[in-house]
Amino acid sequence: MNRGALRAAARREWGPLFTTVRTALVSKKWRAVPLTLGSVALTACFQIVQNQSWGLRPVHDIGFVRAMDPLWLALLRTPLSLFVPALDLPVWGALVQILLVFGMAEICIGWWRTLLISYVTTLAGTLYARAAISFGPHNVFGVKASDALIVDTGPSAAVVGLAVFVCWRLGARWTTGAVIVGMIIEVVAKDNLAGKEHLAAILAALALCALAAWQDRRLQRGGPPSRPGSLVRAGSGAPPMNSSSRRRGPAQRLS
pLDDT value at residue 241? 36
pTM: 0.86
pLDDT value at residue 88? 84
pLDDT value at residue 223? 61
pLDDT value at residue 7? 86
pLDDT value at residue 100? 96
Q: What is the 3-state secondary structure (H, E, C) of the chain?
A: CCHHHHHHHHHHHHHHHHHHHHHHHHHHHHHHCHHHHHHHHHHHHHHHHHCCCCCHHHHHHHHCCCCCCCHHHHHHHHHHHCCCCCCCCCHHHHHHHHHHHHHHHHHHHCHHHHHHHHHHHHHHHHHHHHHHHHHCCCCCCCCCHHHHHCCCCCCHHHHHHHHHHHHHHCCCHHHHHHHHHHHHHHHHHCCCHHHHHHHHHHHHHHHHHHHHHHHHHHHHCCCCCCCCCCCCCCCCCCCCCCHHHHHHCCCCCCC
Amino acid at 216: D
251 Cβ contact partners less than 8 Å away, ≥ 6 residues apart = 16, 20, 108, 109, 166, 169, 170, 171, 236, 238
pLDDT value at residue 250? 40
pLDDT value at residue 235? 37
pLDDT value at residue 254? 38
pLDDT 10s per residue in the chain (255 long)? 678 888 888 899 999 999 999 999 999 999 999 999 999 999 999 999 999 999 999 999 999 999 999 999 999 999 999 999 998 889 999 999 999 999 999 999 999 999 999 999 999 999 999 999 999 888 888 999 999 999 999 999 999 999 999 999 999 999 999 999 999 999 999 888 999 999 999 999 999 999 999 998 888 887 665 555 567 543 343 443 333 333 444 443 333
Q: What angle do CA 136, 141, 142 make, to 5 degrees?
A: 20
State the sign of the Cα–Cα–Cα–Cα dihedral 196, 69, 163, 207. Answer: positive
pLDDT value at residue 227? 55
pLDDT value at residue 230? 67
